[in-house]
Chains A and B, each alone.
Chain A
């Protein structure tokens, strides 16, 4: 049998004057994990969506198992055993996870116009079992699921098509450490059966670890396809950007470095069923990382500190002002800020302009007597923010949803950092952004740290926590297990050991 499962020949696709894909040719071998690397806007997602039938190419052909393959819809792609997990969340929130899983193929379970849900459930369980992925709660509404569950649900949905080629677009960014391990195990199992995976990820360490072959795209052009044995993250990064990035983007010092003064003091913080008895002190100029498995409660800790969890007990103080922090308002008044993990749902107003998004949290400081907001003052601030944080946009009236992921996150972060802050809670600040913006964000966080900002950095990515933190708090089973120091045992292995 031919060793090539799938090939792309001279695919081109343009949107107006932008050439998203130019003459791209690829061959995907059987049983192989093929990585696609590139910055935001380099054309990887376009290529992926062409392969799975969401868009059609302007020219070029694709072959599967040696036969011409020309899907007009994702369902047609599914019939040809090609499936995809898309980058943006693609579940219907008001339907049950079960129905979501079989969306488009519910006909199979229909009899006399009624859908046999039990049979569907059986089928769903089979998929979870077959591939060794944990079972997502199938009842209720999909919108009630966490991002992680939704991602796994989408993976399971893709698997119901029984594909031999599955495309994973940025799936691991939303996953916690242990679920990622599960995903890798799944990929191993999948490829061992001669099936193939196309993997798109911004995490280049992960890419080198998981993929067998990597293709790098830049500005819609395929730069190179190489075996991972010849590659390392730096080489990929250089190919992606087309120039050398000097140095590492994490900090280089090996010792914790912060001032004596305590900014935030937490005593026995508890939210029932989420976490228990968390106590810590956050110092001026400190980055305190928070790590834990998916259900350890690290993200809930962030929203609880901000005051969004009504059932929170325990004490939380802003020491410099002696304020007890009970509500978001208290946090804002004590010069605090919070960035949620879910940027699009909780952070930005996507339909609104960059101007309004940046103005929103700054209105308190800008407004004068009787709440007066001067439009010119606001414009001045927004222009300053856009300029100093290098947000790439046409003008400040541009709709935020039309920005790239990295620039969206820059808007989201910069509007807080431009304020005179004492402390900030960052929940996965680099989720869904490319390496360039990632390096940029780390850079500004470190700069703010030097100026005395206290940072609570909640993250799913261990390298990020290790690379940025002075200390790392590890949560397991809803409890704080340990707090590690940068100068002590600061390694991925050590954290994984206490986390699991």
Chain B
């Protein structure tokens, strides 16, 4: 039992220690500027959309799928929501975005389950196609979000309340419902779930819908932060979300090891890393390279730790079962 505890701790410890290391390193390098009130707010602003979208994407990742449609989806749903808000009513911001996200998720899930197209392929196509749609609708213009809603959504209390509400809902769905169990089980062995008589396709479509909805909500926060929508908004946003998940040890093949708390290590980690390097005056392209490097290191470290320690655990278990048989 104590070994099990130890193993779990190490799996959390690996990404957590990287986070601490990055914070300490850049606090020293920036002579404390990293932790200034202004910068912390900045970090929070940038982390929140990643966390929100990550809370949706984890459903798809945990069943062994990928959803890389997010960047374009954020631009499209954000764009349509802002247009609806300016033309009709600000109250339509979230409903319109959620509707667009749900529609996109349903489509992805439907094609994925009915025509057996791998989720990577569909969402790649979606990413390209939705971006084209954004270009058609928005073109070279920039749509401004109405000032009143921008101020409201950008306020720290609103953000914190939103994130707490979403976190409660998502934690409930992911950890405390049978749907959550099914999603993760699909990542472990899809056939086992199908042979247990569970409607796998329904579960999958629903997972993509949640992913789409959360991406769109994240989109509103992104738009509120930058002020408006243009046709390049949130490009490669999806990579950022995936990085936040993988860097903190969510398994690429999904399964029951996909844990929500990891997102809360991964998302701040990449934002702080970027912010720290900007403050240090590192060039943009170099920042990208370092991001990539950190991802590799983190994934390797988590794998190394979990492999080594789970092996010890498994060996012990085998011995135990042998002993049990021998009794």
Binding site for B on A (CB under 8 A): 15-18, 20, 39-42, 219, 306, 308, 328-329, 331-332, 337-338, 340, 345-353, 356-357, 359-361, 363-364, 366-367, 370-375, 392-395, 397-399, 401-404, 406-407
Chain B neighbourhood of A373, CB < 8 A? 176-178, 180-181
Distance A210 CA – B194 CA, assembled complex (angstroms) = 39
A349 engages B192 (CB within 8 Å)? yes
Of the residues A328, A351, A398, contact of B194 by C-beta under 8 Å: A328
Cβ < 8 Å to A, chain B residues 303-327: 310, 313-327
18 contacts between A and B (CB under 8 A): A17-B319, A18-B319, A20-B322, A328-B194, A331-B197, A345-B189, A350-B189, A351-B255, A351-B256, A356-B185, A357-B192, A363-B178, A363-B182, A392-B324, A394-B317, A394-B320, A399-B313, A403-B321
Closest CB in chain A relative to B173 CB, distance in Å:
8
Chain A neighbourhood of B189, CB < 8 A? 345, 348-350, 352
Tally inter-chain residue pairs, CB-CB below 8 A: 131
Which of A42, A337, A394, A399 neighbours the largest number of chain B CB atoms within 10 Å of its CB? A394
A15 engages B315 (CB within 8 Å)? yes
Of the residues B1, B185, B310, B323, contact of A360 by C-beta under 8 Å: B185
Q: A360-B192, A370-B177, A373-B178 are in contact. Are A398 and B197 (CB under 8 A)?
A: no
A16 engages B315 (CB within 8 Å)? yes
Binding site for A on B (CB under 8 A): 1, 4, 172, 176-182, 185, 188-189, 191-199, 255-256, 310, 313-327
Distance A17 CA – B323 CA, assembled complex (angstroms) = 10
Chain A neighbourhood of B325, CB < 8 A? 39-42, 392, 404, 406
Closest CB in chain A relative to B256 CB, distance in Å:
5
B178 engages A399 (CB within 8 Å)? no
Chain A neighbourhood of B319, CB < 8 A? 15-18
Chain A neighbourhood of B199, CB < 8 A? 328-329
Closest CB in chain B relative to A423 CB, distance in Å:
13
A15 engages B318 (CB within 8 Å)? yes
A372 engages B177 (CB within 8 Å)? yes
Chain B neighbourhood of A356, CB < 8 A? 181, 185, 188, 256
Residue of A whose beta carbon sits closest to that of B323: A18
Residue of B whose beta carbon sits closest to that of A16: B319
Residue of A whose beta carbon sits closest to that of B251: A351
Of the residues A348, A350, A371, A397, contact of B179 by C-beta under 8 Å: A371
Chain B neighbourhood of A397, CB < 8 A? 4
Q: A338-B195, A360-B185 are in contact. Are A393 and B178 (CB under 8 A)?
A: no
Closest CB in chain B relative to A372 CB, distance in Å:
6
B321 engages A404 (CB within 8 Å)? yes
B317 engages A398 (CB within 8 Å)? yes
Chain B neighbourhood of A374, CB < 8 A? 176
Residue of A whose beta carbon sits closest to that of B173: A371
Closest CB in chain A relative to B250 CB, distance in Å:
15
Chain A neighbourhood of B255, CB < 8 A? 349, 351-352
Q: Please give 8 more A-B residue pairs, beta carbons under 8 A apart, in addition to A328-B197, A393-B320, A394-B317.
A: A15-B318, A346-B195, A348-B192, A351-B256, A360-B198, A371-B178, A392-B327, A404-B325
A395 engages B177 (CB within 8 Å)? no
Closest CB in chain A relative to B176 CB, distance in Å:
6
Which of A15, A41, A329 neighbours the largest number of chain B CB atoms within 10 Å of its CB? A41
Closest CB in chain A relative to B191 CB, distance in Å:
5
